[in-house]
């Protein structure tokens, strides 16, 4: 349907290029394979966390999504990340999830021409073993869950999608 709108808009004497661009982006995003949290294949999924939260987020995400389909990078070594980018990785075969506190990981990815899906992650009450809370946000996801409960949250999101 959107493809037909694009074709008809382009054929007009004065096309609305913003509409064409928006529809093309929508088609592109719909073709990307995504998981429950909105991680996408074919692009770099970046979770921007606090300075000492990489490993905690890595453990939570990996406990929920642990298969050969997922490739994780959970450190702040920008030079090592740049080497990985320079190797021209094939992003279409896996979900590539980068968990970092360094802002230049995102800027380096974008400057190399890679599309990115940005999330913000936070941890509250990290040193209180009983009630550590994780927060994960982007344009489409806004969840809060206790340590070890991400699988339950993913299940709830899946059920909500099925019933709505």
Cβ-based burial of 128 (10 A; exposed 0-12, middle 13-18, buried ≥19): exposed
This prediction's pTM: 0.75
Residue 8 has pLDDT above 60, yes or no: yes
Q: What average pLDDT is seen over the chain?
A: 81
Q: Is residue 22 located within the same domain as residue 102?
A: no
pLDDT digits (tens, 9 = 90+) for 40-85: 888 889 899 888 888 888 888 888 888 888 899 888 888 888 888 8
Alpha-carbon torsion 137, 142, 146, 151, what sign? Answer: negative
Backbone angles phi, psi at 66, to 5 degrees: -120, 90
Q: Is residue 130 located within the same domain as residue 151?
A: yes
Question: How does DSSP classify residue 140?
Answer: S
Q: Is residue 16 located within the same domain as residue 65?
A: no
Cβ contacts of 40 within 8 Å, gap of 6 or more? 29, 32, 33, 34, 95, 117
Euclidean distance between the first and the last CA atom of the chain, given in angstroms as a whole number: 22
The pLDDT value recorded for residue 48 is: 92
Residue 19: domain span: 1-31
Q: Is residue 40 located within the same domain as residue 19?
A: no
Q: Is residue 56 located within the same domain as residue 133?
A: yes
pLDDT digits (tens, 9 = 90+) for 134-164: 888 988 888 888 888 888 888 887 777 767 6
Residue 34 has pLDDT above 80, yes or no: no
Q: Is residue 148 located within the same domain as residue 135?
A: yes
| Stretch (H or E) spanning 136 | strand 133-137
Average pLDDT over residues 76-105: 86
CATH of the domain at 139: 3.40.50
Please give the tally of structural domains in the chain.
2
Q: Is residue 13 located within the same domain as residue 41?
A: no
Q: Is residue 43 located within the same domain as residue 120?
A: yes
The pLDDT value recorded for residue 45 is: 92
118 contacts 107 by C-beta, under 8 angstroms: no
pLDDT tier for residue 27 given thresholds of 50, 70 and 90:
low
Q: Is residue 82 located within the same domain as residue 107?
A: yes
The pLDDT value recorded for residue 164 is: 63
Q: Is residue 20 located within the same domain as residue 41?
A: no
């Amino acid at each position: 349907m959107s493809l037909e709108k694009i074709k008809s808009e382009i054929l007009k004497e004065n096309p609305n290029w913003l509409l064409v661009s928006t529809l093309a982006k929508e088609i592109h995003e719909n073709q990307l394979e995504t998981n429950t949290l909105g991680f996408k294949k074919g692009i770099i999924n970046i979770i921007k966390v606090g300075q000492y939260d990489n490993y905690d987020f890595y453990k939570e995400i990996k406990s929920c999504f642990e298969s050969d389909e997922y490739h994780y990078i959970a450190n702040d070594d920008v030079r090592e990340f740049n080497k990985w980018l320079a190797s021209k990785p094939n992003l279409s075969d896996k979900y590539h999830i980068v968990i970092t506190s360094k802002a230049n990981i995102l800027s380096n990815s974008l400057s190399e021409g890679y599309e990115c899906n940005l999330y913000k992650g936070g941890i509250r009450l990290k040193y209180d073993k009983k009630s550590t809370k994780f927060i994960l946000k982007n344009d489409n996801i806004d969840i809060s869950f206790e340590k070890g409960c991400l699988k339950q949250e993913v299940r709830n999101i899946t059920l909500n999608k099925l019933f709505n």
